[in-house]
């Protein structure tokens, strides 16, 4: 070890009102001394300065445990000095204290991340805090004892492969998980806890995934199902034969889905929505995802469609909800949403966030300006909203490409027959003339689920 000594001592030169003094770690480097305070106090008469231990007597019930604590702290600082030498860093008070300020993590990345997250809890959004906490838990399940020093490019590649191959996570889920690691590794690098940042040579990308959404026709199907109160017809009998209404939660969730589809509110904003946020036939509230230094107010006019799924009738107090039931968390609401879609007959794998995509695409399809849609959705950058405009352009191109079928039909008409879905115009069946002998076929379109009859020429 470098020209350094580490020892524990009780500073009896100052005593508190209860007669106790504080323990310190004394670090001596090149004949200069630095004291590191410990969160442990003791009356001086119970301390033996020769053995540097607390007297293990009846009057000090925790003496044995605290002696172990003091020994651990002394060893901790000694290990920090050894680690600095191993990394060929200067053994200075600054470097020792920098590492010791995080020494409660004992090199564990999990504990380091948890400590940092706890420190910044009041500076970040609750949803951000919860997301980071879940990312840490996932990493802990993979390797609970990973140290901050062993996370390098090879380790990151192995973790990414684990997320892909073992957990079958999607690209954006993986991006979020690894972003958490990058956040705290970068902090450790800036604080000189580690001497290199592996993310300087390790790249991972966020996928510009498909913005799944409902069409206007599918939105009408959901609205009709809500008005008909089909879910309120679902009952269940218990073992004693008593009947319970179990469909209410689905009816309530369908209401929440439609509200978001008609105004673009996030799940977190919808959860906060109250009657006090209704002013002059508008929803006016602070966006939950606002930056701490820049609040964003949402101002959403209430249309007839939106009004039809809000509970605005009767005497309302400011904090009364304007929807039935309570808005569930995403982990609870998404399985219910998929059940609802299946019952209505919509064959799409959706999450609740897709209601925002539905609002944006529907609004632009109906002719609302890009700027207005961007403002209502609370986007800080117009380019975020332009993604939805591209979806509509892609749909236009897809529809216009159907004109190309004229050439295909002319070229193949002599030898082949085509069965086209009467609902969505997709090709359902292609066959050579004369192969099929029967005069009529019953076909099922895989694209839109339409069943139809086709007469064979």
What are the φ/ψ torsions at residue 405 (nearest 5 degrees)? -65, -20
285, 299 Cβ separation under 8 angstroms: no
| DSSP category for residue 381 | S
pLDDT of residue 414: 47
Domain residue limits, the chain: 4-87, 104-200, 216-399, 415-455
pLDDT of residue 300: 94
Task: Give the integer Cα–Cα distance in Å for 185 and 194.
Answer: 8
Average pLDDT, the chain: 84
Greatest Cα pair distance, the chain, in angstroms, is 108
Q: Burial of 104 by CB count in 10 Å (0-12 exposed, 13-18 middle, 19+ buried)?
A: exposed
Return the exposure string of 379-397: e unless at least 16 CB atoms fall within 10 Å of the residue's CB, then b. beeeeebeebeebeeeeee
The tokens describing 68, both together, are 């172990």
321, 311 Cβ separation under 8 angstroms: yes
| DSSP category for residue 275 | G
The tokens describing 166, both together, are 């073992």
Cβ neighbours, 10 Å, residue 147: 15
Task: Give the integer Cα–Cα distance in Å for 21 and 8.
Answer: 13
282, 301 Cβ separation under 8 angstroms: yes
pLDDT in tens, 200-229: 988 887 765 567 899 999 999 999 999 999
| DSSP category for residue 329 | P
- The predicted model scores a pTM of 0.52
Domain 104-200: top CATH class: mainly alpha
Fold observed for domain 216-399: hpI Integrase; Chain A (1.10.443)
What stretches in the chain show pLDDT beneath 70?
1-2, 101-107, 207-210, 289-295, 405-416, 431-437, 457
188 CB-near residues (< 8 Å, 6+ apart): 102, 112, 148, 194
Q: Minimal CA–CA distance to 27: which of 85, 80, 87, 90?
A: 80
The tokens describing 301, both together, are 């006019």
425 CB-near residues (< 8 Å, 6+ apart): 402
pLDDT of residue 140: 92
What are the φ/ψ torsions at residue 294 (nearest 5 degrees)? -150, 95
171, 207 Cβ separation under 8 angstroms: yes
pLDDT of residue 432: 67
312, 322 Cβ separation under 8 angstroms: yes
Task: Give the integer Cα–Cα distance in Å for 114 and 189.
Answer: 17
pLDDT of residue 156: 93
Helix (H) or strand (E) holding 109: helix 109-119
163 CB-near residues (< 8 Å, 6+ apart): 169, 173, 174, 177
Helical axes 171-190 vs 109-119, angle rounded to 10°: 80
């Amino acid at each position: 070890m470098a020209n350094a000594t580490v020892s524990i001592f009780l500073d009896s030169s100052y005593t508190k009102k209860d007669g106790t003094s504080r323990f310190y770690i004394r670090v001596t480097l090149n004949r200069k001394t630095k004291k590191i305070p410990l969160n442990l106090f003791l009356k001086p008469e119970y301390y033996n300065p020769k053995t540097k231990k607390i007297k293990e007597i009846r009057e000090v019930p925790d003496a044995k445990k605290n002696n172990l604590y003091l020994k651990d702290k002394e060893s901790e600082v000694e290990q920090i000095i050894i680690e600095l030498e191993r990394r060929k860093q200067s053994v200075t008070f600054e470097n020792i204290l920098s590492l010791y300020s995080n020494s409660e993590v004992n090199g564990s990345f999990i504990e380091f991340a948890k400590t940092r997250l706890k420190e910044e809890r009041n500076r970040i959004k609750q949803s951000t805090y919860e997301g980071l906490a879940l990312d840490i838990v996932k990493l802990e399940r993979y390797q609970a004892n990973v140290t901050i020093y062993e996370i390098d490019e090879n380790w990151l590649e192995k973790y990414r492969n684990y997320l892909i191959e073992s957990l079958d996570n999607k690209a954006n889920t993986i991006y979020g998980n690894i972003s958490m690691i990058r956040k705290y590794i970068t902090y450790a690098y800036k604080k000189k806890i580690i001497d290199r940042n592996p993310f300087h040579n390790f790249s991972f990308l966020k996928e510009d995934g498909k913005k799944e959404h409902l069409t206007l026709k599918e939105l009408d199907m959901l609205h009709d199902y809500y008005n008909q109160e089909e879910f309120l017809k679902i009952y269940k009998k218990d073992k004693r034969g008593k009947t319970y209404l179990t469909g209410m939660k689905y009816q309530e969730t369908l209401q929440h889905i439609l509200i978001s589809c008609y105004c673009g509110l996030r799940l977190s904003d919808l959860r906060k929505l109250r009657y006090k946020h209704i002013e002059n036939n508008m929803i006016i509230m602070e966006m939950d995802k606002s930056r701490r230094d820049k609040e964003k107010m949402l101002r959403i006019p209430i249309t007839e469609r939106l009004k039809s799924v809000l509970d605005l009738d009767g005497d309302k107090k400011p904090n009364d909800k304007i929807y039935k039931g309570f808005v569930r968390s995403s982990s609870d609401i998404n399985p219910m949403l998929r059940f609802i879609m299946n019952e209505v007959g919509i064959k799409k794998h959706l999450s609740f966030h897709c209601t925002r995509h539905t609002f944006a695409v529907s609004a632009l399809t109906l002719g609302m300006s890009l700027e207005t849609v961007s403002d209502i959705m609370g986007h800080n950058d117009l380019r975020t909203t332009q993604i939805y405009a591209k979806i509509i352009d892609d749909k236009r191109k897809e529809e216009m490409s159907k004109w190309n079928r004229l050439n295909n039909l002319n070229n193949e008409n002599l030898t082949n027959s085509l069965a086209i879905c009467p609902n969505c115009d997709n090709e359902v069946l292609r066959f050579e003339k004369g192969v099929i002998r029967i005069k009529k076929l019953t076909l099922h379109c895989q694209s839109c689920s339409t069943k139809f009859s086709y007469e064979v020429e």
